[in-house]
Structure 1
Amino acid sequence: MTLPLLLATLLVLALAGFFAGRARAVATAGGDARKLHSVPAYHGWFAALAGLVPAGMALLAWRAVAPGQGTWQGFAVLAVAIVGMILAISATRGETRARNRVEGIVKAGLILCSVIAIATTAGIVLSMLFETGQFFSQYSFTRFYFGTVWQPNFRGDSELGILPLLWGTLYISLIALAVAVPVGLFAAVYMSEYASRRFRGFAKPAIEVLAGIPTIVYGLFALITVGPALRDYFAQPLGLGESASSVMTAGLVMGIMIIPFVSSLSDDIINAVPQSLRDGSLGLGATQSETIRQVVLPAALPGIVGAVLLAASRAIGETMIVVLGAGAAAKLSLNPFEAMTTITVKIVSQLTGDTDFAAPETLVAFALGLTLFVVTLGLNILALIVVRKYREEYE
C-alpha cells in the first residue's frame, strides 16, 4: 500500500469516525443534545482523533524501524486506526467529557509543535557548533576572525580571513537599508495617513507584489539593467570603476526587493496606533504633519524597528542578487562601484562541487554560518532593547 493511498484511507476512516461518534453521542442522550456534557461535534472529533493519533504514531514508528515493509505496514496502521475509533465510539456516553479530551489532545499537539520548533533550532545551532569546532581544530581562530585575505584552496596554504566577507555583507546590507527604509516608511506614512481608501486598496497590493518576485529575477535585473547603467552613467565618468558588478548594484536592487518588508509592516503598525492619540494631538492644535511626526511615529516605533530588523535580516541572508549583481571578489574597499561578495555567497561556494568535507576549506562554511547567526542574533537583541524602551513610554 502506497503512502498517499494510506493517508487518504486514514482520512476517510476519520471522517466516518467523526459522524459515527457524533451520532452515537446523540443516540445515548435520547436524541436530545442538551443532555450531553459536550456538544455532539466534540464527540465526533474525539472518535476521529482516537483513530488518527495512534495510527499516525504507529506509522511514524514503523517507517523509522522498517521502512521497506509497505503492505503489511499499511494494514497494521489501518487496524490501529479502526480499533481506536471503535473503542472511542463504544465508550461514548452522555456524561463523557469529550470537549476536555479533544482540547487535551489539541494542547498536546501544540506542545509537540513547540518542542519540534525548539529542538530544530537547537539542532541547527549544535550542528554548526560541532562543525565549527572541527574547523577551528585545523585553522587558527585569530587568523579566521582577524584575517584580511580570503583565498581558499586545497593545497594547504589557504587564507580564510572573514573580514572581507563580513565587510561586503554589511556594506551591501547598509546600502539596501538606505534605499528600503526611507522609501518604505514614507510610503507607509502616506498610505496610512494621507491616501484615500481607493488609492490605498490599489497601492498596497502593488507594493507587496515586489516581495513575491523570485530573487533570481532581481539578480538578472541587477546584472542586465542596473549594473550597466551604474557603470556607464556613474562609475566610468567619475573614474570609480569599469565593472557592472558592484556593491552599489547589489545594494540598490536588494533595497528595492525589501521595500515591501518595511512598507507593508510599517503600514499595519501605524494603522494600529489608537485614533485617540491622533484626536488628542489635533485637539491641542497640532497639525496633521506634527501629529504624525511627534505622536504617531513614536508610538509605532517599536513595530517599525521590528520591520526594519526583518528587512535587515532578509538583506543579510540574500545570495542570488549578490552573486549576479556584486560579483564574487572578497576585498576590503570603500568604493561602492567595486565588485565584492558576502558571507552567504561563500558558504554556497565552499559547499558546492567535489570537495573534501573534512578539509578546512569546506568546514569554513559552518564557521561562516555560525558567525552570521551571531550577527543576526545581536541585531535581534538590539531591536528588543529599543522596542522595550519605547513601549514603556507609550503604553
Structure 2
Amino acid sequence: MFLRESFESFLQYGIDALHLKKPEIKFGYARLMGRANPTCDDADCDGMETATQNLYWHWWRDFSRYSCRLDALCTSGERPVYITEVGFMSLYSRETEELAARRFKQLLPLLYMRPQIAGSYVFCYSGQLPKNNPLVAEYTWGLCRPDRTRRPSFYSVKQLYSDFKLLDGILGNFHTVQLAAITDQLTDELMSQAYNCDKTARVMYAFGVPLRFVRGDKKNDILNLEINRLIVSDMCLYSSPDGAESEAESIKSYISKPKNKAVTLNGGDFKQLYGGDIKIDGVIRIKTDKTSPSNTWRVLAPFIHGDFATGNFKPQNSADRLRILDAAAKNKYQLWDIQQQLLYTEDGGAVLAIVNTGSEPADEITVTLGFYEGCKLQKSPSVICADGCVTAAFNGSAEQPDWIKGECKAELLSLTVKNLDTYAFIML
C-alpha cells in the first residue's frame, strides 16, 4: 500500500523530471518477485514504463512455480518485461558448479520462449571473497571465480547467448498464443488456503498450453480478458470491505460474454474475502484427482482444445491452425518435468521450444500435433539449436488422444524428440 499510495507518486515525480532531459529513456522499478512474499505482488507501480523484477530459482527450487511467476509478470500490459536479476546464488543454495551450469541451460530458455520478456541480467558476473568467512569462497556466486577463472556456468551462458542470437535471426518478432487464463490465488495464499495453481500450470506447461495469469484483486484483469477460457483456481475470491471490488462479479461478467467459459477444479462453494459463501452460476465444476497430472490433463484438455479438435472454430491465421494436443514420455514420470510451447513466426512458420527441467536427460518425448489446412509445416523437422545431440522426427499420423470423444476433425501428426538433456528449439 505504501508503494502504491506514496512511493509510486514520488518515483513518478522523479521520472517526469528526468524525461525533460532524456525523453527516450524508459524507466522501471526493479522489485523483488512477489511470491517469495505474496503481499509483495501488490508492489507493482503502474506508472512505470517497463515491468522489472528480480527472479531467482532458489526462492522456490521448483521450475513450474518459477514459470508461474514469469507468466504473472508477463501480463503487465504492453510494457516490456526485464528480469533484472537472474542466476544461481551458490553461497545460499550450495549448488555445485556443474549443477548451476545445467540449471542455467534450463532456466534461460524459459525466459527466451516468452516474447514479452525483452531482456535479463545474469547476477552476478564474478564471485567475490566473503570478508567474514574466507573458508566458503568456493561457494560464492558468479560466472567467474574471485580469481577470474571461469566457472562452468560461464560456458553455459555463453552457449545460450550464442544460440539466442541465432534464434533471433531466424524467428524475428515471434509470438505465442495464450490459450487459457488462470487466476493466481493471491487471496488464497494470504488466507493460508491451499495453493495449487502451480500444479495446474505444471500440467499445462507439459502439454504446451501457454497461460495468462490474472489477479482477482484487479477486476480489469478479468473484465478485459480476450482469452475465452478461464481456469478459476481460487477458493477464496477477492472482495473489498465496501463491496466495490469483487472477483466474483468480474467472473460473472466474463462468462456472460459469448464463447467465454470458466472452469474450476475445486469442490464446494466459493468463499469471499469479505462475506460468506457465494455461488457463481455458469462456472463449470470438474471433479478430478488433482494429485494426478494425467487426470488433470484429461479433464482440462477438452475445455481448452475441444472446439479446435472438433472443428468448431474459425481460424484467423496460421497460428490458429496448429496446436499441441497431447504429449507422452518414454519414462512417463519425465513428462511432468517438460515445459514446451509453440513459437509462431511472422511468415507463418512454427518452432517448438522444449525444455527438460528434470535432473536427468529425457530419452524420448512424443508430441501430438493437431493442424488444419493452411498450416505451414516442413517435410521434416530441423533442430535449430539444442544442448547436446537432440534429434527430432515426424512419425506420420498420430493416434487420437483419449480425451477427444468422437471424431477429431484436425489432422494429427506425431513428433518424436530424443536425447533431450535440457533444451531444444525445433523448426516444424
Q: TM-score category by the smaller chain?
A: under 0.3
Task: State the TM-score, normalizing by the size of structure 1.
Answer: 0.23
| Larger fraction in helix | 1
TM-score by length of 2: 0.22
Higher relative contact order (CA 8 A, sep 6+): 1
State the structure with more CA Rg.
1
User: Which of the two has greater strand per residue?
Assistant: 2
